[in-house]
Chains A and B, each alone.
Chain A
Amino acid sequence: MTDLNKLTIAEARDALRKGDVTSLELTEACLTEIEGAGALNAFVHDTSDLAREQARAADVRIKAGDAPSLCGIPLGIKDLFCTRGVPSQAASAILEGFRPEYESTVTQNLFDAGAVMLGKLNMDEFAMGSSNETSVYGNAVNPWKVDDRQLTPGGSSGGSAAAVAADLCLAATGTDTGGSIRQPAAFTGITGIKPTYGRCSRWGIVAFASSLDQAGPMTKTVRDSAIMLQTMCGHDPKDSTSADIPVPDFEAMLTGDIKGKVIGIPREYRMDGMPAEIEKLWADGSAMLKDAGAEIRDISLPHTKYALPAYYVIAPAEASSNLARYDGVRYGHRARLEQGDGITEMYEKTRAEGFGDEVKRRVMVGTYVLSAGFYDAYYNRARKVRTLIKRDFEQVFDAGVDAILTPATPSAAFGLGEMANADPVQMYLNDVFTVTVNLAGLPGIAVPAGIDAKGLPLGLQLIGRPWEEGDLLNTAYALEQAAGFVAKPEKWW
């Protein structure tokens, strides 16, 4: 077989089981591609020795007939996941040199199923960003290119998106606090799902905003997302918010039959100044689902407009608390101290040197909104608005809507550096369609659905009912089949 790195998980699984290919061959093919893709800056920590060892072990399991779906499948792992003995630094200088003594539950679940880790993937520092430009490793680069500009793969899971789109791995893990799986998936023409809050254990994933963070797969197809999500999720006693409910067989639910399903089109997502191409993509997606037998219904989610401002109170507040642990005492960077410096100077210098600008900004905004005198005005008000945003969704689901269709992003991928002089809020607007889903704890999936006039991929988002990822994936599968998106970036790297 040729181009083993280009296989989907489902194709590779079937080939492995038939004995047409070995995991070691798949793994070597990916490692070779990674070696030649330095220009994308997607992989930032090499674990090729471990990958080969895992691949050999997987081949033994497959031969013995004990092969879960992910057995022998080479994956990339976002740097936010703690992986035992392997650098895990959330793309931050403050975790330089950190090698966890433990394994995150999600990566442990993947390894227990026989998956192979090719390396750690680039991302925005502490998952704070929408363009992968805040990373200590430098920018990850989108494999899609239509002129002489280098484009962002989106963020924060930019390395994951670039790696999957460029076929450096069969799939990758991502995490999503405000859109960090779905926006980069849309920018690179791949699929990414953020499951319901509580589906995937957060244990061992470097925390950003604990009430919003969820891990999920970033894959080449909807089927692959179903397969990989299945293995990633499940109850974990080590995460007190992990849901103790059964995980259905997501792949078995992919029938493509969505007859009679009600798809909501929220009028508040039609933003002023929305590019005509995005508007058209959305209308086309709606028509495809209608043709597939779904009922399209106009709905209202009246508090949509307030989702981003509420998010930019709640997420920084939680971040300021979570990131207090980076104090130069237990792990990571400690600043060099001057004669007479005490512990306060150690904290202040360590954090000034270790955190990048965007992280500092959010930690300080979070500190401010939680500080005495402002807590009610900002933090409590934002949490009340969050209640209203969730209620908007509950009301449309109660009225019989099965899933909601929206654009995934307000534009196609933009050029690296193009937002450098914009104020921070301009960058935050990237998450305008995705952030509501995190605030309401719902599952959301981005599916590539079209190409803009320049030749860049565009994605649509489907939002599902809580815990109904299976049904959501099936609707996404129907959309994927109808959209027939098969374009790939032309190799320039």
Chain B
Amino acid sequence: MSIDKDTAAKVAKLARIRVEDDALPALAQEFNDILGFIEQLNEVDVDGIEPMTSVTPMRLKRREDVVTEGGMVDKVLSNAPDAREGFFAVPKVVE
């Protein structure tokens, strides 16, 4: 499996990271180096093996589905690059 420039562009788009056109060939090459390394996994016989979901056998704890903490709008917004009137502000998303 070889990654070309177009695939690299598609992955960058999916990851929401802008990559300039002239950087794509080098990026594709790096992907190929890493994926080439990962290809070794195809040597392993994994028939009938369950994919790991939890490294230590544990049942995640349950709790009541209720509000445990809240009422701290100022703290939640204190690090926002742009916040107005108690909300996070972003560029217009609906025309």
Which A positions have Cβ atoms within 8 angstroms of B? 97-101, 196-198, 211, 237, 240-241, 243-244, 303, 305-306, 308-310, 312-313, 320, 324, 327-334, 337, 341-349, 351-352, 355, 360-361, 363-365, 367-369, 371, 378, 380-388, 390, 423-425, 428, 439-441, 466
Contacts and interface: CB of A to CB of B under 8 A. Distances in A.
A364 B17 contact: yes
Given A364-B27, A382-B41, 12 more contacts: A198-B56, A313-B38, A341-B91, A343-B90, A344-B16, A345-B91, A348-B16, A368-B35, A381-B42, A388-B44, A441-B55, A466-B56
A383 B93 contact: no
B79 A332 contact: yes
A44 B83 CA distance: 28
A329 B81 contact: yes
A303 B44 contact: yes
Nearest to A349: B18
Interface of B: 3, 8, 11-19, 27, 30-31, 33-35, 37-44, 46, 49-56, 58, 60-61, 63, 72, 75-76, 78-82, 88, 90-93
Nearest to A367: B15
Contacts of A355: 17
A378 B38 contact: yes
A468 to B, nearest CB: 13
Contact of B34 (A329, A365, A385, A386): A365
Given A344-B16, A352-B19, A240 B88 contact: no
Given A352-B18, A364-B15, A197 B55 contact: yes
Contacts of B12: 364
Nearest to B43: A306
B94 to A, nearest CB: 10
CB-based closest 10 A-B pairs: A441-B55, A383-B51, A334-B81, A331-B79, A352-B18, A384-B46, A348-B18, A101-B75, A367-B15, A347-B16
Interface majority SS (helix, strand, loop, mixed), chain A:
helix
A355 B78 CA distance: 22
B37 A333 contact: no
Contacts of B53: 383
A352 B18 CA distance: 5
Contacts of B75: 101
A256 B68 CA distance: 46
A388 B16 CA distance: 34
7 contacts: A101-B79, A211-B54, A351-B18, A352-B19, A364-B15, A386-B55, A388-B49
A97 B90 CA distance: 19
B28 to A, nearest CB: 10
A232 B83 CA distance: 35
A342 B50 contact: no
Nearest to A348: B18
B15 A363 contact: yes
A469 to B, nearest CB: 13
